Each structure stands twice: as structure tokens, then as C-alpha cells.
Amino acid sequence: MADSEFERLRRAHQLERKCTNHLDTAKESQDRRWDMLHKLAELAGDQFGGMRLDMLEAKLSSDDGPPLWLSCILGLAISLIPFNELSGLFVAGLADTTQTLLTTADRKLLEAATRNLRPKSWVTGAAFPGLAEGFAKKGSWLFLHEEIKLTEDMVALFAKRFEPALAGSMASFAQRLGTVAGSGKYLFNQTGDNRFAQDPGVAVVSVKNSLYGWIDMQKRAESAARARLKTRIGDLVDIATADDPAKEAAAKEDEREPHVPARRPEDRFPKTHKKAFDELTRLVQDLEPTLAPLPQQLDIDDLREIRLMMEMCMWTMTYDFTPHVTRQIGVSFGPTNAWQTPPFPQTTWDKLTRRYIDPDAGRSYADVGAIDRLGTVEAPVLDKRVHEGVFGPELRLAHYFSQVLHPRIADENFKIVQKFSHLGF
């Protein structure tokens, strides 16, 4: 027996309320994540600027620095330094919520993500299975890096289809990133007298503003997707409760904006009560959160690893930390080769080695102290010009910044530019 008008109204508004509740719950949790990332970027920039006061740059603004792509920082933080479970859940929720919102707002995007964007090895039956258990082993975090990249691909494709101005901003920012931060240059060049001269060939941009820009682009895409979904849900309710659903669907088709040739056509409206209810039911299921919300007790201090990686990237792309082998004359043993760190003030070296983490030890470089290895456990340095010995925290940190982190950032920046080219920007 066909549903009565009252029953249709009751069911339609019940499904509409569930969809809206899911959207509002996800927005509240996601806004909190974005606000925390914004605060992390602000704190990282302030910390970076404050520590640079030792570098005799009093005439320079304390928040100038290289352009950085926040997804690059998150990925590097996950793959290079010890990561706690709360930070992992934070990043996982960030990626999962955005993916759910975008793919629900654009079904074709879901197909493209599964078929073309997401590597087959990452396709799973559930979002982030065994996440908490996975943080027991560092290698298990790497899939989060892939999810961050996938989310950014989805944002780019969604913006290209529905938000041309946003897509243009993303492509322009990525291109600037590749030109400046991926050029192999540094914002400042050091000289032997401990003075630092601005390199006129590299643009000075705001570190914090570039991170804020990435957050803003993600939020704009999410907001556009959320608006599209709310409009679609309202239209489906109208069709589900109409006396003549086919007529109502036809009227809504006529109200749509003219089709833009370069843009994928909108999904057509269902013409029966049953199909309208089926789509509303599917939307309820699709929008239901797949991960637990952020713990209420989570605060900035719990995400310290992300903040430290932001700071480390700022240092790495601003100054050349490359250590050099120099010839030293000894009274007892004659001339010998030795590693020489960049000529930073000792107060700066002390702050750097006390603050930043040796990725192999999970403790600060200063706490680890001098050890008999230069480089990481996976890639130790063997230089025949220098006899094996003990390597201090300053030299090991300088090597890590210049020989491990800097190449990874340059590689990630290159991939970002290539990605936008591949996506047709």
C-alpha cells in the first residue's frame, strides 16, 4: 500500500534531520581540527621567529619565511618522526571527514578516487582499520601519508569542477611553492662572519600565512561541498513529499543553472517517491561519521609532533644547514679533516638541539648527546675523508636538516606541482 502523505512527510523530514545532524556533527569536529591546525601554525611561526632573534636579523620581520604546503608537513611528520596515537587519530579524522564530505557531494569523485587516485593497495572495506593498533609500529603510519595526499587530490578535483576560483588559488599556490621552495635555494645565505644576507632571488613570504592559506583552501572546499549537500537534501525532501514527484523533479531541473560545457553535468533528480527516499537513506548512511569524534581533552600540547615538524621545515627551508669537511691543523698529529657545522650563534645551536627530536631516539638531540654515528640508522654516513669518531648533537641535527629533511621537502614540493599538472590545472 502506498505511503500516506503524512507518512511521507514524517519519513522525509526524519531522514533530512539525520542528514543535517551528521553534517553538523562532522562540521563541528572538523572545525575544531582546522582551528587547532591554525593554532599550531601560529605557534610554530612564533617559535621560529623568536628563535631567529639570535641570528642577528633584527631588521627582518620575525614571521617571514619560505612557502610551505601544510599537507607536505603533515606527511613528513608522519613518516619521519615518532608519532603518538592522538596525533595519528587527529590526522586520520581530518582526512576521513573531508573525503566523506567531498565524495558524498560528488559521486563521480568517489569513483575517480577509488579507480584513479587511490592506490589499489590502500583500498579497504572500512576507513582506517586497526588505526589505534597500527601506531605501535612506525611503518603502519605510512598509510596516513597516502590518505593526506589522496584527500588533497580530491579537494583539487572537487574545486576544479565546482569552485573555479578556489582551483585557481590552489594551482597558483602550488606553482609558487614549486618555483621557490622546491628550487633548492634557501631564504637566507650565510657568510663566514655570522651575518645573514637576504637572497634577492628568492621571494620572502609569510610562513604562517602560507599555512593559513592551505587551511583556508581546504575549508572552502568543504564548505562548498556541505552547501551542495544541503541543497540536494532539501530538493530530495521536496520530491519525496510532493503529490506529483515527477513534476516536482522536472521543475527543479528547469530551475538549475545552464550547464557549463567544461563541467560534469549534475546528477538528475529522481522522479518517484521511492527513488527520492532511497537517495535520502543512502545519504544518511554515507554521512554517518566513521571515526570517533576528537577527544574533548585533546589540546595543542597533544599535537606537539606536528608543531615541531612545522618548525623544522621552516628552519630547513630558510637556512642552509649543510655541514662541510674542513682541513684542520693539529699540534700533535698534524693536519686532519673534520666536520664543520654552519656558523650559527651557539645560543641558537643550544636551542635547536634541545628542542628538536632525533627521529631514531625519540628524544632531543641534546638529550641523546654525542654518538658514534652520523646520519640515521637507515642511512648512516660513511665519508672516507673523515676518520670515524664521535658526532655531536649540532652536527647530527645539521646533517638531518640538510641531507634528510630538505631533500624530502623538495621532493614533496616537486610531486605537488606534478600532481596539479597531472590533474589538468
Q: Which residue has the higher pLDDT, 234 or 144?
A: 234
Q: In this predicted model, what pLDDT tens digit does every residue of 121-142 receive, in sequence order?
A: 443 333 444 444 444 444 455 6
Res 74 pLDDT > 60:
yes
Residue 387 burial by Cβ neighbours in a 10 Å radius (0-12, 13-18, 19+):
exposed
Count the residues in the chain. 425
Helix (H) or strand (E) segment spanning residue 172? helix 164-180
Res 181 pLDDT > 50:
no
Contact, 58 vs 321, CB < 8 A? no
Q: What percent of the chain has pLDDT over 90?
A: 20
SS (H, E, C) 349-388: HHHHHHHCEECCCCEEHHHHCCECCCECCCCECCCCCCCC
Give the model's pLDDT for residue 221.
92
Range scoring the smallest mean pLDDT among 33-47, 176-190, 228-242, 269-283: 176-190
Phi, psi of 84 (to 5 degrees): -85, 170
